[in-house]
Structure 1
């Protein structure tokens, strides 16, 4: 199970899909005439009453030729999710986020008055679309793509503000985010880090703690109770800004959450869930990657602010 709430529905689908059985149209585990994939027991009664239309070795050649020319029963024919599906759709989501970010970035540079509408409009739209996609029982690729664009608009405007305050920080954050994603993928692929139930509890508790901290910090800053640039994040603990400590913890949690996303994707492919769930996986990975990017960007800003840049 993944700590990412986006993956909950996929976890349920995996639990309903018998391991090794593809969920393809017309397939029903246990239906007469369909032998278990893991069973090799020979049933003499299964063939004893089967009518034999053609004697062995006397089938017409055109039947053999038709069978030879027929396409293989690959993932497209069976309707199963594959790693290729996940990679392509996740790449498409990243591309849509980038497209939205580029539009917002250059739009604000040409018309600075668009900054506030794009930040808050993109934030509200992406939040609504995220909730709809998370709680919807039906996977809607169009709404998932719309979320990516809305998230990109918000990130583009948000990033430009930080770039104005700390030149070069966006490129640093993008590189650092992809490094984190790469590390998570390598750790997962190597098997050195496994996503267990204990890890899932750590991610859930950590996620709720970071979200609670951010909400309290946002309220304190908006109400003027704290006037420092990063609110509670500017307070030092043993000489270290609190924002650096929380940001580092958030990135670690995001990394483990990403490993959990990869784990769900792997189990989904092995269970043979429907191909449409690749959109759910891509959506979950994108949500986690965006969160990591925002935390990295904020962490770098606090560090540069503390350094007097």
Structure 2
């Protein structure tokens, strides 16, 4: 059992035992995910308002990015604190997401609404496809998505390092046909990670994982959703810039 989501690795549920009547459920995980989504939206709207009010949001972006990264690491390595760190992660990540969204919105009016609708549409479409059996998570399917996700993050890391030297990985930031196609592929891989997350959470329920793993699993889904949303923003901006 394996997911390419770093917070939902193959050993996530290993050795965990739930007390009687305090086991992880699908409905409980869905409820926690909804709570985290609301928390993220709350701080995202706060940063959004600050930006369009003419205030400097750079400190908020740094707090969101760095704070969210640190809290995510703590959550991954100490799963039992997820009921406390997962909401904190959502609040911090919202600060960063709101600022990024506002910057894109000033360049491309309406892009935030488009990205949100596409992200939520993808989430519910893939959830329906998974629950109805239209998508079967086989070992080959899982391995392919894990490999593709790893390759994408490797390229992003290389690009981040190269930018310190005034360079970058060709095409991934460009708005031409090749750049758009690259973003389409990345969006597809990010979306398919949701399917792996659904499957992994279901396996956790089958293994009778403890109740706090609902928060941890909701956190894992939010990690994927944030990535998917950011890639949607990038893709839409490339398409609209290319017109």
User: TM-score scaled to structure 2, two decimals?
Assistant: 0.91
Given that 2:80 and 2:212 are in contact with CA atoms closer than 8 Å, whether structure 1 keeps it comes out as no
Match of 1:46 in 2: none
Q: After the TM superposition, which residues 1-309 of structure 1 pair with which residues of structure 2 at under 5 Å, given as runs? A: 1=1, 2-8=3-9, 9-13=11-15, 23-25=18-20, 78-114=21-57, 116-221=58-163, 223-225=165-167, 232-234=172-174, 236=176, 240-242=177-179, 244-307=180-243
Measured in 2, the distance between the counterparts of 1:172 and 1:275 equals 35
TM superposition shift of 1:220: 4.2
Runs of 4+ in 1 over 6 A off after TM superposition: none
Change (3 A) 1:270 1:225: closer
Given that 1:7 and 1:264 are in contact with CA atoms closer than 8 Å, whether structure 2 keeps it comes out as yes
Measured in 2, the distance between the counterparts of 1:154 and 1:209 equals 24
CA RMSD of aligned residues (A): 2.1
TM superposition shift of 1:149: 0.5
Measured in 2, the distance between the counterparts of 1:158 and 1:134 equals 25
Measured in 2, the distance between the counterparts of 1:231 and 1:267 equals 38
Measured in 2, the distance between the counterparts of 1:271 and 1:137 equals 16
- Greater mean alpha carbon deviation, residues 158-167 or residues 260-269: 260-269
Given that 2:22 and 2:210 are in contact with CA atoms closer than 8 Å, whether structure 1 keeps it comes out as yes
TM superposition shift of 1:129: 1.0
Measured in 1, the distance between the counterparts of 2:171 and 2:98 equals 23
Measured in 1, the distance between the counterparts of 2:149 and 2:66 equals 20
TM superposition shift of 1:216: 3.0
Q: Provide the secondary structure at the position in 2 that maps to 1:241.
A: helix
5+ residue gaps, structure 2, are: none
> How many residue pairs were aligned?
241
Measured in 1, the distance between the counterparts of 2:235 and 2:183 equals 6
Measured in 2, the distance between the counterparts of 1:215 and 1:246 equals 16
Larger Rg computed on CA atoms: 1
5+ residue gaps, structure 1, are: 18-22, 26-77
Measured in 2, the distance between the counterparts of 1:255 and 1:231 equals 21
Change (3 A) 1:109 1:284: same
Measured in 1, the distance between the counterparts of 2:82 and 2:116 equals 28
Match of 1:47 in 2: none
Measured in 2, the distance between the counterparts of 1:104 and 1:222 equals 27
Change (3 A) 1:151 1:157: same
